[in-house]
Amino acid sequence: MSDLPRKAVTRTVKLAALPLGFAGRTALGLGKRIGGRPAEMIAAELQQRTAEQLFSTLGQLKGGAMKLGQALSVFESALPEQIAGPYRAALTKLQEAAPPMPVASVHAALAERLGEDWRELFEEFEDKPAAAASIGQVHRAVWHDGREVAVKVQYPGAGDALLSDLTQLGRFAKLLGPLVPGMDIKPLISELRDRVSEELDYELEARAQSAHAREFAGDPDVTVPDVVHHGDQVLVTEWLDGVPLSEVIADGSQEMRDRAGQLLARFLFSGAARTGLLHADPHPGNFRLLTGDAPDGPPEKWRLGVLDFGTVDRLPRGLPVEIGTALRLTLDGKADAVHELLRDEGFVKPEIELDPGAVLDYLLPIIEPAQVEEFTFTRDWLRAQATRIADPRSPAYQLARQLNLPPAYLLIHRVTMSTIGVLCQLGATVRLRDEMEAWVPGFTTDDRSQGNSA
């Protein structure tokens, strides 16, 4: 595999071929149907080929293209099963790996960023990458003091590639819409583009990771590896062993799924409260289930390892109290109060008139997991929600089109929805209400926002 394709024309040609390929396969499928082949067989074949082309292209290009693929991958649970099947394997590939940089390019990058004597910093360095992501790849190594470390090296030209990809992808965002029913892809692409500069800055990432590592040091539930060294486009952190969440999704026992899901929900809510930062890239490749000395249980001893703090939302006072208040009022059935709060926060624009009761009917199914003591997240439940909101004939669809998502809530919304997507992939039974009562300001009447759940 060659270096990250940097020439804008090269990347644009590859991305521009995607909608042409989609259209061509649709026409071919029509021809085959006329020729007598069963429509279901043709549809499955077209979906398989589309998935292979889309995610192969996104993975090869890395950059913003792969970043979009990773963002979409956590929503595959929302797809109808007859469509989800062909996509699932291709999506999962993006969560853990991408085509690697050539070894010579890695060495050259390290020499440029750490100095010509960079090898003296390591007792060992594995040339084969342990993982690859949208803007860099990770190598396992041993630091000069004997610690096992992960060395993240940014792809040369990653910044230009990110901006170029996301601009190009935005031009045919509508074609990607069917991948995630009920979700508008274009704002997602715009929001990803806004985060590019932060994710390229490894010093910012090092600060965010260090803040989490300090706060969660010795925590019985969550582990964040310490930062060992950081420089321009190179980040060295302690190595973290564990079972990737993608493997738990694929092959994990129900105990593993439930524990991983509980801890993922706990980290989502507690992280913002404890650090003032929201980890904003919750795809399965960024989490590990650490079973340690008790791989067969008890699950209460298993911890969640958290990686990749390149994208965070800065929330100095934790999650906005308005979120918890709106959820509590909705669960209490106070339609007028919910409507007023949503209007005050900008979710309902001044010129829009909505029936408070209809707003309540729209919200209640979505927050069902917070209504009960424990909730089992399933693909079927998520598909039902996506279908309800995506069907132009449904009242939910009509109401959703009149709601607004204020910029201040955009990243919080995406992180929450992505986390729910992962919980549904896990099929985890989670005591979500416990975590919300413990960590979400405004969710309980006494506004309790500190402490941990049992």
| Spacing of C-alpha 318 from chain mean position | 20
Active-site residue flag, 434: no
- Residue 62 and residue 205 in one domain: no
- Residue 303 and residue 439 in one domain: yes
- Residue 132 and residue 272 in one domain: no
Kindly state whether residue 227 falls inside one of the protein's structural domains.
yes
Q: Is 344 helix (H, G, I), strand (E, B) or coil?
A: helix
- Residue 164 and residue 217 in one domain: no
Beta pairing partners, 287: 306
Give the type of residue at 50. T
Kindly state whether residue 3 falls inside one of the protein's structural domains.
no
Q: How many Å is the Cα radius of gyration of the chain?
A: 22
CA distance 281 to 209: 13
Kindly state whether residue 346 falls inside one of the protein's structural domains.
yes
CA distance 185 to 293: 43
Nearest CA among 279, 270, 331 for reference residue 453 = 270
- Residue 261 and residue 356 in one domain: yes
Kindly state whether residue 261 falls inside one of the protein's structural domains.
yes
Give the type of residue at 436. M
- Residue 209 and residue 279 in one domain: no
- Residue 53 and residue 66 in one domain: yes
Kindly state whether residue 317 falls inside one of the protein's structural domains.
yes
**Contacts of residue 87, Cβ cutoff 8 Å, sequence gap at least 6:** 47, 51, 55, 76, 79, 179
Angle, vertex CA 190, rays to CA 185 and CA 377, nearest 5: 45
Per-residue pLDDT reduced to its tens digit, 311-360: 899 999 999 999 999 999 999 999 999 999 999 999 998 999 999 999 99
pLDDT tens series, the chain, 454 aa: 345 444 444 555 555 555 444 444 333 333 343 344 444 443 445 445 555 556 556 555 555 555 566 555 555 555 555 555 555 555 555 544 456 788 999 999 999 999 999 999 999 999 999 987 667 889 999 999 999 999 999 887 777 766 776 776 676 666 555 555 445 667 767 766 777 777 788 999 999 999 999 999 999 999 999 999 998 889 999 999 999 999 999 999 999 999 999 999 999 999 999 999 999 988 888 999 999 888 887 999 999 999 999 889 999 999 999 999 999 999 999 999 999 999 999 999 899 999 999 999 999 999 999 999 999 999 999 988 888 887 778 898 889 888 888 878 888 988 998 899 999 999 999 999 999 999 999 999 765 444 444 3
- Residue 107 and residue 255 in one domain: no
* Phi and psi angles of residue 352, each rounded to the nearest 5 degrees, phi first: -95, 130
CA distance 146 to 451: 36
CA distance 263 to 246: 15
Query: CATH code at 211?
Result: 3.30.200.20
pTM of the model: 0.78
User: Total structural domains in the chain?
Assistant: 3
CA distance 337 to 348: 13
- Residue 188 and residue 289 in one domain: no
Contact (CB, 8 A) for 26 and 178: no
Nearest CA among 263, 274, 307, 268 for reference residue 417 = 268
Kindly state whether residue 335 falls inside one of the protein's structural domains.
yes
Look-up of token digits 């020729």: 35
Q: Is 133 helix (H, G, I), strand (E, B) or coil?
A: coil
- Residue 361 and residue 300 in one domain: yes
Chosen domain end from 238, 255, 290: 238
Q: Which domain holds residue 21?
A: 8-96+159-194
Q: Which of 281, 308, 313, 434 is catalytic?
A: 281
User: For 242, left (φ over 0), alpha (ψ -120 to 50), or beta?
Assistant: left
- Residue 188 and residue 215 in one domain: no
Per-residue pLDDT reduced to its tens digit, 226-282: 999 998 889 999 999 999 999 999 999 999 999 999 999 999 999 999 999 999 988
Contact (CB, 8 A) for 424 and 381: yes
- Residue 378 and residue 402 in one domain: yes
> What residue spans of 115-184 are helical by DSSP H?
158-171, 173-176
Contacts 24+ apart (CB under 8 A), 270-273: 270/222, 270/435, 270/438, 270/439, 270/452, 271/212, 271/222, 272/313, 272/315, 272/318, 272/319, 272/439, 273/318, 273/319, 273/439, 273/441, 273/449, 273/450
Tokens representing 91 are 């999506």
Count CB-CB contacts under 10 A for residue 244: 19
**Contacts of residue 168, Cβ cutoff 8 Å, sequence gap at least 6:** 11, 12, 15, 16
Q: What share of the chain is helix, strand, coil (3-state, %, to 5)?
A: 60, 10, 30
